Amino acid sequence: SRLTPPSAQAAEAECCQHSNSCRTAAVMLVGDSGVGKTCLLVRFKDGAFLAGSFISTVGIDFRNKVMNIDGVKVKLQIWDTAGQERFRSVTHAYYRDAHALLLLYDVTNRASFDNIQAWLSEIHEYAQQDVVLMLLGNKADSSHERVVKREDVPFMETSARSGLNVELVFTAVAKELKHRSMKDPSETFKLQEYVNKEMRGASCC
């Protein structure tokens, strides 16, 4: 479906009616068609996997989810963009308002990985300079041989199918944005360090 997200301010007003400690953040999912953007969002929002026939997103879609980050409500307004080339001009218009970008590729699809450079150029051109950026290698449930990962952007593997790291991605982004909005220089937050620590924690003990 094609929906226009309400402005971030409207979303903030709605969220903050119920709480005086609340932040709103716009998170945008980008990447080639078929890498699993819609599925990742549905997994995060509804805890389910959209198996079966693949319905490509048309234009842009969005969903809200409120997270509790260390006692502060962070409302994520998550925009799911169409990966298909013909919708590129629609998605360009949304980059400017995004606080965070999740750039996905499919670990089983080499072309989707090779296109990351083009996506990064696009992000550089249209997004805010200080946008929070994470690269996600999705479909990590697959036993397929991995394409080489990049070291220059915060990175982690995810699976919309198994749920691997899905909650962690959004928690990490929300934490980063919360830290920034509080503007407390004594508290630093390192996205990659946080996800590395949390991933290790999950696999040990």
Ligand X SMILES: Nc1nc2c(ncn2[C@@H]2O[C@H](COP(=O)(O)OP(=O)(O)OP(=O)(O)O)[C@@H](O)[C@H]2O)c(=O)[nH]1
Q: Where along the sequence are the contacts to ligand X (CB under 6 A)?
A: 33-39, 50-51, 54, 56-57, 82-84, 138-139, 141-142, 159-161
| Burial readout 72-99 (b: 16 or more C-beta within 10 A, e: otherwise) | bbbbbbbbbbbbeeebeeebeebbeebb
CA-based nearest residue to 133, from 168, 101, 111, 158: 101
**Which residue number, 24 or 158, has a Cβ lying nearer to ligand X?**
158
Tally of residues, the chain: 205
Segment holding 162, helix H or strand E = none
Q: DSSP class of residue 65?
A: E
**Which residue number, 74 or 164, has a Cβ lying nearer to ligand X?**
164
Cα gap 92→94, rounded to integer Å: 5
CA-based nearest residue to 36, from 174, 123, 199, 163: 163
**Residue 166 main-chain phi, psi, to 5 deg:** -65, -50
CB 131 within 8 A of CB 28: no
**What does the block give as tokens for 24?**
């709103």
We find the least distance from the C-beta atom of residue 114 to ligand X, in angstroms, to be: 16
CA-based nearest residue to 155, from 112, 192, 204, 203: 192
**Which residue number, 139 or 175, has a Cβ lying nearer to ligand X?**
139
We find the least distance from the C-beta atom of residue 39 to ligand X, in angstroms, to be: 3
We find the least distance from the C-beta atom of residue 54 to ligand X, in angstroms, to be: 4
> Looking at the DSSP assignment, which residues form a beta bridge with residue 12?
none
We find the least distance from the C-beta atom of residue 31 to ligand X, in angstroms, to be: 6
**Which residue number, 155 or 189, has a Cβ lying nearer to ligand X?**
155
We find the least distance from the C-beta atom of residue 200 to ligand X, in angstroms, to be: 21
**Which residue number, 24 or 91, has a Cβ lying nearer to ligand X?**
91
**Which residue number, 24 or 79, has a Cβ lying nearer to ligand X?**
79
We find the least distance from the C-beta atom of residue 5 to ligand X, in angstroms, to be: 16
Q: DSSP class of residue 151?
A: S
